[in-house]
A and B are shown apart, each in its own frame.
Chain A
Amino acid sequence: MAARTTESVNLYLPIAEMSVNIFLLLGMGAGVGMLSGIFGVGGGFLMTPLLIFLGIPPAVAVGTEANQIIASSVSGVFAHWRRGNVDFKMGSILLVGGIVGSTFGVFLFQYLRSLGHIDLVIMLSYVIFLGVIGSLMLIESIRAMQRRKRPGSLRKLHQHNFLHGLPFKMRFRRSKLYISALLPLMIGFIVGILSAIMGVGGGFVMVPAMIYLLGMPTAVVVGTSLYQIIFVTANATFLQATLNQTVDIVLALLLMIGAVIGAQFGTQVGAKLRGEQLRGLLALIVLSVCVKILYDLVVTPDDIYFLSRGSGGH
């Protein structure tokens, strides 16, 4: 036997092909899982960059993260379901759009990769989407908090605009909405594309879209988003596993254990916070990730040369 430097807290990941600290990954899983429970986002927008920062190959980070999000979403959706906060009808229509979008997104990913610069496209999409959504949410939640301080001012349930003139109107009882089915279908499709390109569940785009574009009540948004994320990320996991072999079950399992525990606490915390506080907090987290990625794009790297082995890796 080879003499080994024995450290029982380390585990060798078979697909990522590196040794990692078990407790670090459990902790990361718990932290991100808590966010997912609070906000109804998968947490992929946070976990994927964190894994890459740890030295996990980007392709493996993206594939494995999709797998892990399934677990935290399943765990989270039941907690919301028990409170009656999942609109299955709305979720399913978003899902149909999402599956079509993410499959289209995989092909778009391959096309962009053949052009080169896929890394840049991924990072710039992060910056743009995180930046725009984070800023909008922050502004809105601050305004909402100010409104709350001035009693007597009434707020309409939602604004009416051209989107409400679209055909194929459907009634969504849980969401208290009567809108065109084309609207959630379109949103699901666009978020599906993003999730394929950015390697995330898309919750951070889906949640604000449901609140601001569809006008769904905040309470229902989180559970419904988690419900449809389960299936979008299951689709992504299957595609990544069959096309790229980049899903590391061992890594995913470590993150899942942490995330499932974190998500339960997150749901309890989320139930105690007010809607605008919740959105304000999520906005700040989204913006800080955006700033970090932008910083990495702009600051001069230590070494302007880098390695990519074989044909794999970006």
Chain B
Amino acid sequence: MARRLFTALTFMSICIAPYLAVGTSRAQSVIADVSEHFVGITADFTGAKILFFGTITGPGKVVVVISGPAQDITVGNKVQRAGIWMNDEKVTFKNTPSFYQVLSSEPLDEWLPPDTREAKQIGVEYLKLESTEAIGPAKAADYRAALVRNMQKNNYYGKAEGQLKLLGGGLFRADIFLPSNVPTGDYTIKTYLVSFGRVTHMEVTPLNINKTGIGAEIYRVAHQHGALYGVAAIIIAVLAGLGGNAIFRKS
């Protein structure tokens, strides 16, 4: 870990150099990067931790928003009828981030004004979630809260801001934790430099999370050659049954 941090910091200083040179012309700026831009989900994947790091020049504070690929997410509701809980209404939210996490060095409520958070969608309560169905504001709020609550329960959304460590000299770093059920696809990591409550600079860092190796191959065949996959699954099952039988017959 120490070695990785050292490498990261060396890399950072190389990147920073040109910015420092023009420091006077660009009073405030932020640069950030992650230890890897691709996280491969292999058979032994049980979650991952990636290092996020960067630096700021000039005054200001940093807040980071990590968003997973947008999806349509449906929130269902159950009602009890004749003693049995059954599905009732459903509300679909368009283009909702499948993963969402905020990193900050201090609690956001203490320093980031709500209008800025709303404008930049910083924090789950400021996510712009639009439902496809026309529903009243009270109901929309219920479903919205249910979406956030359930996404948090599955570790897709952060419950609180993650810790961003300030290392002095404008350097900062944080660990980004990806759970084992992390959604796959293209992520964006937006690093905002905020000065007097206003965003003065933003840096976007891409991150791709995808299956790799045999798992990716299985997924690809299953989705592109369904019939072939089905036949293969049947053959494997028959062989497993025959194989088990052969072994036990001898004993």
Contacts and interface: CB of A to CB of B under 8 A. Distances in A.
Interface of A: 1-8, 10-12, 14-15, 17-19, 67-68, 70-76, 78-79, 116-117, 119-120, 124, 230, 234, 237-243, 245, 247, 249-250, 252-253, 256-257, 260-261, 263-264, 297-301, 303-311
B233 A4 contact: no
A2 B234 contact: no
Interface stretch (B43-51, B115-123, B162-170, B187-195): B43-51
Contacts of B211: 14
B136 interface: no
B77 to A, nearest CB: 5
Nearest to A8: B44
Contacts of A120: 84, 86-87
B48 A2 contact: yes
A298 B227 contact: no
Interface centre among A11, A305, A309, A310 (most CB of B within 10 A): A305
A12 B236 contact: no
13 contacts: A2-B49, A5-B46, A19-B46, A67-B233, A67-B237, A70-B238, A72-B241, A74-B237, A78-B241, A241-B229, A247-B230, A249-B218, A249-B232
A74 B219 contact: no
Given A245-B223, A261-B248, 12 more contacts: A4-B46, A12-B46, A74-B237, A75-B245, A234-B234, A238-B230, A242-B226, A247-B229, A298-B83, A305-B75, A305-B76, A309-B72
A70 B230 contact: no
B241 A74 contact: yes
Interface in B98-127: 98
Contact of B227 (A2, A75, A238, A300): A238
B50 A297 contact: no
Nearest to A124: B84
Given A243-B226, A247-B229, A14 B149 contact: no
A247 B236 CA distance: 12
Closest 10 CB pairs of A and B: A74-B241, A260-B244, A241-B230, A305-B146, A70-B237, A19-B180, A2-B48, A14-B215, A242-B226, A238-B230
Contact of B230 (A72, A242, A300): A242
A5 B45 CA distance: 9
Contacts of A6: 44, 46
A10 B71 CA distance: 28
A242 B231 CA distance: 10
Taking each of B1, B87, B181, B230, which has the highest tally of chain A beta carbons within 10 Å of its own beta carbon?
B230
B240 A17 contact: no
A148 to B, nearest CB: 32
Contacts of B226: 241-243, 245
A67 B218 CA distance: 15
Contacts of B50: 2-3
Interface string B206-220: 000001001110110
Contacts of A71: 237-238, 240-241, 244
A1 B36 contact: yes
Nearest to B98: A309
B74 interface: yes
B243 interface: yes
A237 B143 CA distance: 36
A70 B41 contact: no
B80 interface: yes
A299 B80 CA distance: 10
Interface centre among A10, A76, A124, A299 (most CB of B within 10 A): A10
Contacts of A75: 240-242, 244-245
Contacts of B45: 4, 12, 19
Given A2-B39, A300-B85, A307-B147, A245 B237 contact: no
Given A11-B43, A297-B84, A305-B150, A257 B71 contact: no
Contact of B151 (A2, A239, A253, A307): A307
A309 B73 contact: yes
A251 B53 CA distance: 37
A2 B98 CA distance: 21
Which residue, A241, A243, A245, A299, has most C-beta atoms of chain B within 10 A?
Answer: A241
B222 interface: yes
Nearest to A298: B83
A311 B90 CA distance: 12
A303 B147 CA distance: 11
